[in-house]
Structure 1
């Protein structure tokens, strides 16, 4: 796409840019389950399954109704879960907090198509996995009680904690 600075100095999309933008919007709508007309055909957008017409907008559709979960958003997310495995899926460690006893070996398994790491936060932590490909695993035996925070160095927003008790 390009921006054309016309004789008035205003920014405007050139014909190619406008066509690309229109095709992109129609592609997004199509991917969202909406049927669409083709550019220039005068075809109207129609709501997909479970969608409703928006009043006063011919061919328009409203977003499906959403209900908000009860309780706080973090409720349950930080609760420690007992076990010895952590799944890496949908760019998250699950469970986010794992509770184990000293001497337990924890294994992380990557179920994503992207590579991830299991790396201690801060310096000197014990967790230092290589990049784990899909179905790759990393194991570590926790011998000392404590709280071990970790993250994926490739995607630092992915964080987790292992709580080790004696």
Structure 2
């Protein structure tokens, strides 16, 4: 008896689906990071998007986060691999503060 084709034209065993990489999103608007605190598991990439008409940065004191100047619509991303709490600010507007909490 001939073998029957698998649905969708597949002829072999399906491989298990790969989980997408986790991402966290922070908007920069109204001269603030929103949300001000984002909590993500280790291995997550956080993406900041500047939705303001002014330029901003994402910078921490330790130098781990050091975005270029982000003009309107620009993004910056960083993958957090180590659990902990990471505080950052906009170096142009230092009153703009944010925190990333990375869980195990």
User: Aligning the two structures, in what range does the TM-score lie when normalised by the shorter sequence?
Assistant: 0.7 to 0.9
Q: Aligned partners of 2:56, 2:63: CA distance in 1, in Å? A: 17
**2:82 counterpart of 1:108:** no
Instruction: Kindly indicate whether structure 1 or structure 2 has the higher relative contact order, using CA contacts under 8 Å at least 6 residues apart.
Output: 2
Q: CA RMSD in A?
A: 0.9
- Structure 1 partner of 2:65: 127
**1:126, distance to aligned residue in structure 2 (A):** 1.1
1:125, distance to aligned residue in structure 2 (A):
3.8
Structure having the higher strand fraction is 2
Structure index of larger Rg: 1
* Aligned position for 2:74: 136
1:118 aligns with 2:64: no
Q: Structure 1: state its 5+ residue gaps.
A: 1-82
Deviations, residues 74-130 of structure 1 (Å, cap 9, x unaligned): xxxxxxxxx60000000000000000000000000000010000001x2x2410000
CA displacement at 1:155 relative to structure 2: 0.2
Counterpart of 1:95 in structure 2 is 35
Query: Following superposition of structure 1 onto structure 2, how do residues 59-98 of structure 1 map, counting pairs within 5 Å?
Result: 84-98=24-38
Greater helix share, structure number: 1
- Poorly superposed stretches of 4+, deviation over 4 Å: none
Q: TM-score, normalised by structure 2?
A: 0.77
